[in-house]
Structure 1
Amino acid sequence: MDAAWAAWTTVVVVTVAAAVALAAVVRQRDRRSARVARTDALTGLGNRHALTERLVRSLAAGERPGLLLLDLDGFKDVNDTLGHSAGDALLRQVAAVLRSGAGPQAQVTRLGGDEFAVLVPAPTGAQELEVLAKRLLAALSIGGFSSGQVPLDVQGSIGTALAGPDGTSAEELLQHADVAMYAAKRARAGVLRYDAAQDPHSTDALEVLGQLRRAMDEDQLVVHYQPKVAGGGHGQLLGFEALVRWQHPTRGLLAPAAFLPLVERTRLIHALTRWVLLTAVRQVATWRAQGLDTTVSVNISAATLDEGLLGMVEEALALTRWPAEQLVLEITETAIVVDPAGARRTVQRLRERGVRVSVDDFGAGATSLVHLRGLAVHELKVDRQFVSDLMAHPEDEVIVSSVIALAHRLGLVVVAEGVEDAVTAARLSAMGCDELQGYLFARPLPPADALRWARGELPAPQLGEPVDEPA
């Protein structure tokens, strides 16, 4: 009996010990699985799951963490040119630089692809986040990255969001930092903080977009026309630029800056571009029937500089029988830089159709001479920031005269916008500027007033009145 009891006790002890050992193994395995589930296999950083958990805990504890979202610029080119192994090697190098530069208190994670996040537990405010973001971008720019014997230049765009003013949940902070990051990438600004006014998904922005959709159906949108005249002191009318406005039922006449930045982030920009293009071409076709033959310029967003634009142009020309050579499409430098190859293809197709293309705001962006050389454009519009203070800043005069000389060597027409006084107009004409545009001649006018101006039936604007905002 005693022997049997002893044997049974031994079995129980062994079984309990085995169970305890098994439980320890299971716990160890679970901890290892949890670490794997929260770790990015490529870089060893935390992953999106780890970041979200940390954000949730921090917010639940009443803290106000800050979040930085980083996206590398041009990473796809590394993969396409050098292969995915080179891309993986670069991501590991970037992870090391970010971990070192962010400091011991920050949590660096890789969200996937070439996107990284940095969680700052208790920043003093948005300014601290901006300083850290700029420091990280500077560290990347001098990181000495390479793949084999190939040196790699690494740049990035960062969006920041601060708990409280920029979001109250982990989901909101991640979404808003992502919105800011893409805004920084589009603007080539390096670092931008979340701005609800520029977020197409915010409540206010969605309301504005909804109102704008109704505005297009209810004829609240209008197009005003600003004349362009010949340089050289002649003042001969050469054409009009079409500028969209929103006659809001409660807020009055809204300039493009009040709604276009939101629209450009949605598919609504295509419908708006089509509407403006058709409206402008129909208007000048009507003027032609009334005895005024002129060109018309229409601004084109970077978001619509694609194959769909060609269809819009063909539709407008076919419906109005307007000559293609009297239509000018103005594209910004940003549109060229974002997709140089795509811009070249579209511009070439437009040129083959006979449509003229202008580079708007030249000098304000980052168009390289290489991009300009390969672009079949007809004219350059010198940015107003160099024109408005031309007589007060000698360096602006040097810039403008250089642009004019460069453009003429390339066979391009030069337009100066923002001309507000006769002295500046005379100086631009002396430098050989081909066309002038600005408040000195007329502000953007409703169609009826634009026709009266062309016929000399409107008095010249009084200097000193408010200058029309940039369109």
Structure 2
Amino acid sequence: MVQRGAGSETPAAAAEILNSVGTVTYEWAIPSDRLTWSDNAGDVLGIDPRHLSSGRAYAQMLAKESPAGRYEAIVNSPHVDRGGGVAYAIEYAIRGHGGLTHWVEDSGRWFASSDGRPLRAHGAVRIITESYETRRRLIEASEIDPMTGQLSRHRFCEVLETALEDAVKVRGSIGLLVAAVDNLAHVNEAYGFDIADEIIAAVGKRIRTRLRGGDLLGRLSGNKFGMLIRNCQPEDMEIAAERILNAVRDDVFLTRAGPVAITVTIGGIIAPRHADSLAAMLGRAQEALDGLKARRRGAFQIYAPSLERERARQENLKTTDEIVSALNDRRIGLAFQPIVTAGPERRAAYYECLLRIRRADGTLLPASAIVPLAEKLGLVRLVDARVLELTMAELIAAPDLRLSVNVSPATTMDMSWLRALEAWHRTHPGAVERLMVEITETSAIADVEDTRRFVARVQALGCRVAIDDFGAGHTSFRNLRKLGINCVKIDGAFVASFHSNPDDRHFVKALLELARHMNLTTIAEWVPSEEVAVVLAELGCDYLQGDHTGPASDARPWLATPAAPRALSA
């Protein structure tokens, strides 16, 4: 029978309740180490009552995987009893009958003697094995990527950050490799997403076999793995990367769809030499990876500092701030360049709206630097929305005016821009019908189907659509017919060298002839001289554009010209 202290008799109903919820109560006289339990302790905890009569004996029941038990929580407590006792609540594991392990929650309050040392404690022990296992599984799920079985991004980054802090303290060095599975989009398209997932998991396992014992592998994103290489110098990183590259590419991956050949591209960084924070490590390893992928795949590149690159990054940040500031302060405006008829009259048919962004001091930002950066940073949609707003204001104010406006590749996929154009059509249909939308050839061939849908929706509102810079992206005429556009603007690089370069002259002639065969209107850009203008007109070019036929200006020449501009003919 387990010993019971005076006044510790538990009513039958209370004992039944304690048993039903898997809870026992106890009192511990600390100086004598006498431990007194409720009668149900042996049944609930699954421990021989003879082993429960002292704190020391009970402590011997703790399982190996258990953290510190009750003794550490009370005797080594940093808290002070100020008369009302000190509460405690801990979790640990004990070994029961048959070697079973129970996780328990031990909560109570301890009281100190006059000298401040713990004198006695009372509390309750409750079985929490089921809830503990549930929590453990949840924690494990957050730490392990379920598809690959490797560390999750969150857990990998935690370990990576700790390793970086340790390396800084001891003046050591660690490496981070970021490996991306190449051409995964092609695998998705050819075999399906389930096979691609199978390959990602298999790549993770194969990489894991090539890492040293202390190194770690985690999944950073869909097709990317991160590898922590401890005690790493540049030569160590190159060796590790080469092992991984060979492991992935040397043998095909056997999938349910058959054998598939896969490669990975790897970027790496040494820290803290070239990165002093987790964000810097991840960003610069990714930068090395992206720089390599732009040139070739299936190889390795380590990050190296570049003053030129850092200077360009600072300039980009400055320009980004200026773009955002210009949007907020409405310092975005338009310049207008005429598109004229190719005949002797040279009358303006359209004016192309060209972007102008002014700094706070009134100077202009160069558009050649603004647009690529705005596209890269995702700001171009905001810029294009503002340009559309300004363009529509001009069309509404001048009933006979016709304008053309460029849209970026991102905007052709932006439903909000199309919805804005549709809203303008509902309120000012006549103005929208005098608008021509220009899309670049490179964006048109990036996804012909998506571009075709965009063209159809714009034309349904009465707009005409032109392919800008035609010839630069080598669009096939099959795709040109499929897109259903109205006009092609011949890339100015071919027109500018029309007389000096026989190949360019022949190319322009061929484009004009094919466009005429397909009943497409043609506009020659960058017309350099009257001589070229005359020859282009003789070859059948419909319209001309360039500094020779009319430079861009923020003036509005149509306000001083009585005659209305003619529409582009089909």
TM-score norm. by structure 2 comes to 0.56
Give 1:252 deviation, angstroms. 0.7
Structure 2 CA distance for aligned equivalents of residues 422 and 454 of structure 1: 26
Q: Which runs of 5+ in 1 are unaligned?
A: 1-16, 27-32, 456-471
CA contact (8 A) 2:326 2:359 kept: no
Contact 1:347 1:376 in 2 (8 A): yes
Please, which moves more after superposition, 41-50 or 438-447? 41-50
Query: Given the alignment of the two structures, is residue 207 of structure 1 paired with residue 321 of structure 2, yes or no?
Result: yes
Query: Deviations for 1:220-263, whole angstroms, at most 9, x for unmatched residues?
Result: 22100111123356533221110111121236111323433444
Q: Which residue does 2:191 correspond to in 1?
A: 82
**Partners in 1 of 2:291 and 2:477 — Cα distance?**
25
Residue 286 of structure 1 aligns to which amino acid in structure 2? A
Q: Does 1:295 align with 2:405?
A: no
* Cα deviations by residue, 1:28-56 (Å, 9 ceiling, x for unpaired): xxxxx999998767667776444664576
Q: Deviations over 1:370-394 (max 9, x none)?
A: 5434212112223333333343433
3-state SS in 1 of match to 2:484: coil
Residues 211 and 88 of structure 1, relative CA distance in 2, 3 Å threshold: same
Alignment of 1:233-382 (within 5 A): 235-250=346-361, 252-264=363-375, 269-288=380-399, 293-305=400-412, 306-365=414-473, 367=475, 371-382=479-490
Which residue type is aligned with residue 524 of structure 2? A
2: CA distance between counterparts of 1:100 and 1:155? 16
Query: Residue 188 of structure 2 contacts residue 196 of structure 2 at CA under 8 Å; is this kept in 1?
Result: yes
Deviations 1:328-385 (A, max 9, x none): 1112234334544332222111122221112222333475555434212112223333
Is 1:115 matched up with 2:203?
A: no
Most deviating of 400-409 and 142-151: 142-151
Q: Matched residues in 1 for 2:174 and 2:532: separation? A: 52
- Residue 467 of structure 1 is matched in structure 2 by none
Q: How does 1:59-138 map to 2 (within 5 A)?
A: 61=167, 63=173, 68=178, 70=180, 72-73=182-183, 75=185, 78=188, 82-91=191-200, 110-117=219-226
Asked if structure 1 preserves the Cα contact closer than 8 Å seen for 2:191 and 2:257, the reply is no
Contact 1:67 / 1:173 at 8 angstroms: preserved in 2? Answer: no
* Kept after mapping to 2: 8 A contact 1:71/1:158: no
Greater share of helix = 1
In structure 2, the partner of 1:445 is 553
Distance 1:196 1:178 in 2: 15
**RMSD after superposition:** 5.5
Instruction: Give the direction of change, closer, same or farther, for the CA distance of 1:100–1:270 in structure 2 (3 Å limit).
Output: same
Q: How many residues align?
A: 423
Secondary structure of the 2:524 match is strand
Residue deviations 1:124-175 (CA, integer Å, cap 9, x gap): 9xxx99xx99xx8xx98x9977856678797999888887998542213324
Relative to structure 1, the CA distance from residue 346 to residue 440 in structure 2 (aligned partners, 3 Å threshold; closer, same or farther) is same
After superposition, the Cα gap between the structure-2 partners of 1:342 and 1:433, relative to the gap in structure 1 and judged at 3 Å, is same
| Residues 22 and 243 of structure 1: CA distance in aligned 2, closer, same or farther (over 3 Å) | closer
Partner amino acid for 1:433?
C
Shift, 1:296, TM fit = 0.9
Change (3 A) 1:394 1:82: same
Whether the 8 Å contact between 2:195 and 2:257 is mirrored in structure 1 is no
CA distance in 1, matches of 2:194, 2:223: 14
Mapped to 2, the partners of 1:118 and 1:393 lie a distance apart of 52
Residue in 2 aligned with 1:403?
511
Which residue matches 2:527? Answer: 419
User: Equivalent residue of 1:359, what SS?
Assistant: strand
Identical residues among aligned pairs (%) = 25
Whether the 8 Å CA contact 1:232–1:432 is kept in 2: the answer is: no
What TM-score results when the alignment is normalised by the length of structure 1? 0.66
Q: Distance between the aligned counterparts of 2:516 and 2:288, measured in 1? A: 39
Query: For 1:373 and 1:157, how far apart are their aligned partners in 2?
Result: 38
1:411 aligned counterpart, secondary structure: coil
Please, which runs of 5 or more residues in structure 2 have no aligned partner? 1-59, 67-92, 94-136, 564-570
Specify whether residues 448 and 411 from structure 1 end up closer, same or farther in structure 2 by C-alpha distance, changes over 3 A only. closer
Q: Which digits, 9 at most, give the CA deviation of each residue in 1:436-459, with x for residues without a partner?
A: 22222232211335756998xxxx
AA of the residue aligned to 1:224: A
Q: Secondary structure of 1:447's match?
A: coil
Per-residue displacement from partner, 1:307-343 (whole Å, max 9, x unpaired)? 3222222333455553444211112234334544332
Q: Greater CA deviation, 153-162 or 424-433?
A: 153-162
Deviation at 1:82, TM superposition (A): 3.4
Q: Which amino acid aligns with 1:333?
A: E
Q: Does the CA-based 8 Å contact 1:66-1:122 persist in structure 2? A: no
